[in-house]
Structure 1
């Protein structure tokens, strides 16, 4: 490892941030909150960012190559770099940020795993149950809301599946 490698950016760093930004924009869609009834709180918004970013990473990893693994990792890294910045802006002390980010990472991993398993099985009921458990953790979801959110997640996954990996490699993702 030479001196020049100290200044080299990680693979797909820029593209990872662009893709993560697209997922965040999708997670901010007013229809998720006003239409479906996801709580418009920091926790509710975090859940939608986890959902959309997880679906994007799932799509990228579906190609199962070293290149797509690096791209998916770049999206993940962008997400948690953003979480770190947001926690600091919220006033979390420097000593506590690392622990909070680790907790968020573990939560994201658990959610992504549960959502992926339900989508792979085509089990909308299991997906709705996972989404209800996470998005409405402190409240009863509106009637039919978890099912509507599960249909939304399945539609996003299907839409992302139609997009070529080359677009993602350029930092381009379109969400419905």
Structure 2
């Protein structure tokens, strides 16, 4: 390997970061932290980002285009490069970053499998159960209301369907329009 190879970008690196940015933006929607009461913590945010990234990776891996798996890997790489940077910015020591990132990867992988299994089976109840167990895990004593987990499951199914309908060329351009979240109830109509 020549010295110049160290400075070359990976073929889909830019696309991976653009798609990852779309997942992060979707995960920051106030609906998750307000009406659904997802904990607005590092863990809660990680779970929502991971959920949206998992949906992107699933979509990319299922595409018949042979570049789908490489773009999915680029999205994954972008996510964990960002996690590494964020941990360092939060003051986690260099020696501990690797261990923390590995634990995050293991958590992400387990969640991806649970969500993908439920989505592939068309089992929205299993998806809601997996979401309840993972997204609200820090709130073990007061887990999400079944309605919140079911609402998130419906949103995840809608997002998976929207991504499935998206052409691969749009994904290669870094486009990943996640569906809008439901609007919070108007306070003026509250009883």
On whether the aligned pair clears a TM of 0.5, the verdict is yes
Gapped runs of 5+ residues in structure 2? 180-191
1:7 Cα offset (Å): 2.4
1:45 Cα offset (Å): 0.8
Is residue 37–residue 142 contact of structure 1 (8 Å, CA) maintained in 2? no
Q: Distance in 1 between matches of 2:84 and 2:78?
A: 10
Q: Distance in 1 between matches of 2:62 and 2:171?
A: 12
Is residue 124–residue 150 contact of structure 1 (8 Å, CA) maintained in 2? yes
Q: CA RMSD in A?
A: 1.2
1:38 Cα offset (Å): 1.2
Match of 1:148 in 2: 151
Match of 2:175 in 1: 172
1:27 Cα offset (Å): 0.3
Match of 1:81 in 2: 81
Match of 1:128 in 2: 128
Match of 2:30 in 1: 30
Match of 1:39 in 2: 39
Q: Distance in 2 between matches of 1:63 and 1:30?
A: 31
Q: Distance in 1 between matches of 2:97 and 2:5?
A: 28
The superposition leaves residues 32-56 of structure 1 with CA deviations (integer Å, 9 ceiling, x where unpaired) of 1112221111111111001000001
Gapped runs of 5+ residues in structure 1? none
TM-score by length of 2: 0.88
Structure 2 residue 114 is matched with structure 1 residue 114? yes
SS in 1 for 2:38: coil
- Aligned 1:65-104 pairs, distance under 5 A: 65-104=65-104
Structure ranking higher on relative contact order (CA contacts 8 Å, 6+ apart): 1
Moved over 2 A (4+): 1-7
Structure 2 residue 165 is matched with structure 1 residue 162? yes
Is residue 39–residue 136 contact of structure 1 (8 Å, CA) maintained in 2? yes
Structure 2 residue 21 is matched with structure 1 residue 21? yes
Corresponding pairs, count: 176
